[in-house]
Structure 1
Amino acid sequence: MADQFYGKDNYDPYEHRNVVSPISNFGALMNVIKSIVGTGILAAPMAFHNAGWLNALISSAMIGIIVLYSKQILMCGLYEVAKRRRVPIFSYADGLVEAIAEGPPFMHGLQKILRGSVNTLLFIYHFGSCCVYVVFIANCIKDFGDHYWAVWDSRIYMCCEILPLCLIYCVPNLRSLVPYAMAANFSLVIGFGIIFYYMFSNLQPIEELQQFQDFRLYPLFFGATLFALEGAGLIVSIEAKMKTPKSYVGITGVLSRSIFIVILLQLTFGFFGYWRYGDGIKSAILQSLPYDEILANIARVIFAFSMYITHPLQAYVSIEVMWDNWLKDKVAEKRAFALELVFRMCLAVGSVIFAIILPNLTLIISFVGAFCLSFLGLIFPALIDISIRYKTDYGPAKIYLILSVLVIAFGIIGGATGSFVPIEQMIKLYIDGTDLAG
């Protein structure tokens, strides 16, 4: 795992932070887990279907290790560059730019474009996650409603989400979101318990499952798995709001514990979900549960509720990027609060509109995961590590340089292939009327 400290300066950025409404280690743990555990985990069985169960187990574990490593070097790199500049904290974009200034000269010309790229990708990823939540909530309620009252188009349910989302988007900060995250995590324990009950019943012979699937579907697995294990923007934002940020990184830190839990859930859900439902698995495992059983419908309501009350947690980074960095300084101070609420509501409505335009859950997850997170979760953290270590040391046999180059190569190859296939299938879905993602 990455070193926590690179330099020898006695200045400690943690000691100079003035955090309003700081969150505890437990609150940070809850927020990290809830910011990652969501629709991506529930889509894990479909991801395993797209790779084959043996291939998916091996690949998921490898991707999980790489993701955890990249998160550690990201947080350590942002800390180190803040230490060298003697400032309390840097945002992801500012930290990347400052780190590049410490790196090889040929990278210095990338500073301006990288700042804009980070903020743009953070907005796209978290806004895309909000759209995924809208689709997921609508599908859960539709499955419930189709059985108990009438068959409606899922887009009608999406429109019904507008007012509730506008209301919950008024929650002002991460500390205020902690009780929501705790309630969501508690409800998820019940929901996961119900899903496990169905998953572990009537398991089909494992010999009937594909160990390795058609390789053309593997990019969909890659994008979906990265989506399920990432949360780059919130990972940085949560650390910035902690009361004791020193406990965030490291093998036993809050971040590592959170990621280990998420990886375990991803492997368990993906493997047993695919084992139970095989090639009949749907985009999200909830859609594979029976529609005429009360317990299954309770699970749908629980997950819809959980995704709803943590919807603003996913939107937090989009709000931070757009409002705090680009819009806040352009409005009068006395009108800032009211206009921020209007902006939040516009973001909520926008996520519903985009979800209505593109309601295919599998393709949204795969594209957003592969395109945005290959940069935010893999390539950019590796660039920070290369730059920060450039004037100091890359370790024995330049091991840290080799690891960072491998992470970048993994991100580029996975991001390119993982983005192309969902786009190709979106075109086929809307032009030819077929959906190859299943």
Structure 2
Amino acid sequence: MSTQRLRNENYSGYSSTEVSPTESPSNGLDDFSGSSSYQRFGETNGTTWFQTLIHLLKGNIGTGLLGLPLAVKNAGILMGPLSLLLMGIVAVHCMGILVKCAHHFCQRLHKPFVDYGDTVMYGLEASPSSWLRTHSLWGRHIVDFFLIVTQLGFCCVYFVFLADNFKQVVEAANMTTNNCNSNETVLLTPTMDSRLYMLTFLPFLVLLVFVRNLRALSIFSMLANISMLVSLVMIYQHIVQGIPDPRNLPLVANWKTYPLFFGTAIFAFEGIGVVLPLENKMKDPKHFPVILYVGMTIITILYISLGCLGYLQYGPAIHASITLNLPNCWLYQSVKLLYSIGIFFTYALQFYVPAEIIIPFFVSRVTERWALMVELSVRIAMVCLTCVLAILIPRLDLVISLVGSVSSSALALIIPPLLEIATYYSEGMSPITIAKDILISVFGFVGFVVGTYQAIYELIQPSVSPTLANIASAFVQ
């Protein structure tokens, strides 16, 4: 199955824009929310506004959410939520920029749909620089590269998350009780290393990615949604009870840990890759701007509330995933298992994007007789690669921060503002808009460099058990 075929099958019946050649390009979000820019044609079985909202929420909620309490710790109880709010505003603004530029090229080139890579490629073709116009195809390659890194990075995070949670459940099994009110420290029974747990999951995830049909994967997505929703409700129910005195928590954390906050936060907010496909598959795309703002508002509130409440509840002892802090009773052990089941099934969905980019490259170089064998071999190799990378970096917090800093910052913060400049500069842009776009891109680039450096620096430091480190920091407080 080629990437082009996937695009044709999924999007051929839908149009982001259908305008006359004489209509002027979009000048902002207000323009693309007008009814004249949204006329559906073809099939009428597109998604409703509610279905689109659910897909948008699902595309932004995953393991990154559970790591936000530690992110707030790395920023401070005041600086953390303020930074999350600012990052949420900037992220949704960049999503709006991407949609606006995509609509501009749909109108100008009379295309029913352009994806992220196409939009960047056309943006470079429209730039005033002859060098950029000549090398516009690299825009698509760059977006594809960062999409591959981001999605495979998610898969690495899932390996570490599954290993950490299952390891804790197994090690605490003998001491697990029905009393969920006790906060006594549980002496875990040592079992095998977390890396061996990753190897245990490997064959099952290989079998899972052999499912190549999106409709079949939608069943797994539904199971993941249900299990993760139940888990989140139980987590919130627990962390709002008996919150300790927050006055001992620092308002602003050490500046050295803030880059780790940035990586984790942008990892959580990186849902820009789903924006254009969701908008294009709607019955009434004119409602998408409202859905985007409503959905991202809900997501930002969810991120800030879980990050703050989780840090307030556990303080310096917070783990890389808040599930690892839950009480050692069967109720909350089941929460860990439920969320892990959701992450397990979500692995195949995150894997689908890089698979559709990488696999056609290899399949196109063999005869049809060997196509299936080559495809399955590439799938196995890609899953093994994510497993090996997870084994090499078994720290969940650092994996999340590294993936967020390296690739998520590029897709969510750096590229969209530069795309807007390339697209509209020759048509006239206000200096304020140009300055704003440059500021956002510089902010993303600084986060990219500093966050990546700090995550790598932490990785090469002598290994210290996260549990022991958290306990020690709690006594220092």
Q: Is the 8 A contact 2:279 2:288 kept in 1?
A: no
Q: Is the 8 A contact 2:48 2:282 kept in 1?
A: yes
Q: Report what 1:310 is aligned to.
A: 346
Report Cα offsets for 1:125-163 as digits up to 9, x if no partner: 110110001110111111111122662211121112122
Matches within 5 A, 1:317-332: 317-324=353-360, 326-332=361-367
Q: Report what 1:387 is aligned to.
A: 422
Of residues 123-132 and 407-416 in structure 1, the stretch that sits farther from structure 2 once superposed is: 407-416
Q: Report what 2:334 is aligned to.
A: 298
Take 2:462 and 2:277, find their aligned partners in 1: how far apart are those partners?
36
Deviation of 1:385 after TM superposition, in Å, equals 1.2
Q: Report what 1:95 is aligned to.
A: 119
TM-score normalised by the chain length of structure 2: 0.81
Take 1:55 and 1:2, find their aligned partners in 2: how far apart are those partners?
31
Take 1:336 and 1:22, find their aligned partners in 2: how far apart are those partners?
32
Take 1:297 and 1:318, find their aligned partners in 2: how far apart are those partners?
33
Alignment equivalent of 1:80, drawn from 97, 104, 108 = 104
Please tell me whether residue 122 in structure 1 is matched to residue 147 in structure 2: yes
Alignment equivalent of 2:382, drawn from 340, 344, 347 = 347
Deviation of 1:64 after TM superposition, in Å, equals 0.3
Q: Report what 1:260 is aligned to.
A: 297
Q: Report what 1:280 is aligned to.
A: 317
Q: 1:118 to 1:305 in 2, by over 3 A?
A: same
Please tell me whether residue 415 in structure 1 is matched to residue 415 in structure 2: no
Q: Is the 8 A contact 1:103 1:390 kept in 2?
A: yes
Deviation of 1:209 after TM superposition, in Å, equals 1.0
Q: 1:233 to 1:345 in 2, by over 3 A?
A: farther
Q: Report what 2:225 is aligned to.
A: 185
Q: Is the 8 A contact 2:38 2:286 kept in 1?
A: no
Q: Report what 2:6 is aligned to.
A: none
Matches within 5 A, 1:16-415: 25-105=49-129, 107-108=132-133, 111-148=136-173, 151-239=191-279, 242-244=281-283, 246-247=285-286, 249-250=288-289, 252-253=290-291, 255-291=292-328, 293-324=329-360, 326-333=361-368, 335-394=370-429, 397-415=430-448
User: Which one has a bigger Cα radius of gyration?
Assistant: 2
Take 1:402 and 1:173, find their aligned partners in 2: how far apart are those partners?
45
Matched length: 426
Q: Is the 8 A contact 1:76 1:249 kept in 2?
A: no
Q: Is the 8 A contact 1:13 1:83 kept in 2?
A: no
Q: Give the 3-state SS of the residue equivalent to 2:172 in structure 1.
A: helix
Report Cα offsets for 1:71-106 as digits up to 9, x if no partner: 111122123223322233333223211111112226
Q: 1:429 to 1:26 in 2, by over 3 A?
A: farther
Deviation of 1:234 after TM superposition, in Å, equals 3.5
Q: Is the 8 A contact 1:31 1:178 kept in 2?
A: no
Q: Is the 8 A contact 2:362 2:375 kept in 1?
A: no
Q: Report what 2:5 is aligned to.
A: none
Deviation of 1:69 after TM superposition, in Å, equals 0.6
Q: Is the 8 A contact 1:78 1:95 kept in 2?
A: yes
Deviation of 1:50 after TM superposition, in Å, equals 0.2
Q: 1:274 to 1:89 in 2, by over 3 A?
A: same
Take 1:15 and 1:249, find their aligned partners in 2: how far apart are those partners?
17
Deviation of 1:22 after TM superposition, in Å, equals 6.2
Name the amino acid aligned to 2:304: L
Q: Give the 3-state SS of the residue equivalent to 2:421 in structure 1.
A: helix
Deviation of 1:381 after TM superposition, in Å, equals 1.0
Q: 1:358 to 1:223 in 2, by over 3 A?
A: same
Deviation of 1:23 after TM superposition, in Å, equals 5.3
Q: 1:178 to 1:261 in 2, by over 3 A?
A: farther
Q: 1:12 to 1:288 in 2, by over 3 A?
A: closer
Name the amino acid aligned to 1:273: G
Deviation of 1:328 after TM superposition, in Å, equals 4.0
Q: Is the 8 A contact 1:363 1:437 kept in 2?
A: no
Name the amino acid aligned to 2:317: G
Deviation of 1:12 after TM superposition, in Å, equals 7.5
Q: 1:331 to 1:32 in 2, by over 3 A?
A: farther
Q: Is the 8 A contact 2:125 2:134 kept in 1?
A: no
Report Cα offsets for 1:368-411 as digits up to 9, x if no partner: 101212211111111221122223343xx444323322211211
TM-score normalised by the chain length of structure 1: 0.88
Deviation of 1:350 after TM superposition, in Å, equals 2.2
Q: Is the 8 A contact 1:50 1:214 kept in 2?
A: yes
Q: Is the 8 A contact 1:122 1:321 kept in 2?
A: no
Q: Is the 8 A contact 1:13 1:88 kept in 2?
A: no
Of residues 419-428 and 196-205 in structure 1, the stretch that sits farther from structure 2 once superposed is: 196-205
Q: 1:127 to 1:360 in 2, by over 3 A?
A: same
Take 2:225 and 2:436, find their aligned partners in 1: how far apart are those partners?
34
Name the amino acid aligned to 1:191: S
Q: Is the 8 A contact 1:23 1:175 kept in 2?
A: no
Take 2:331 and 2:152, find their aligned partners in 1: how far apart are those partners?
32
Q: 1:12 to 1:38 in 2, by over 3 A?
A: closer
Of residues 335-344 and 211-220 in structure 1, the stretch that sits farther from structure 2 once superposed is: 335-344
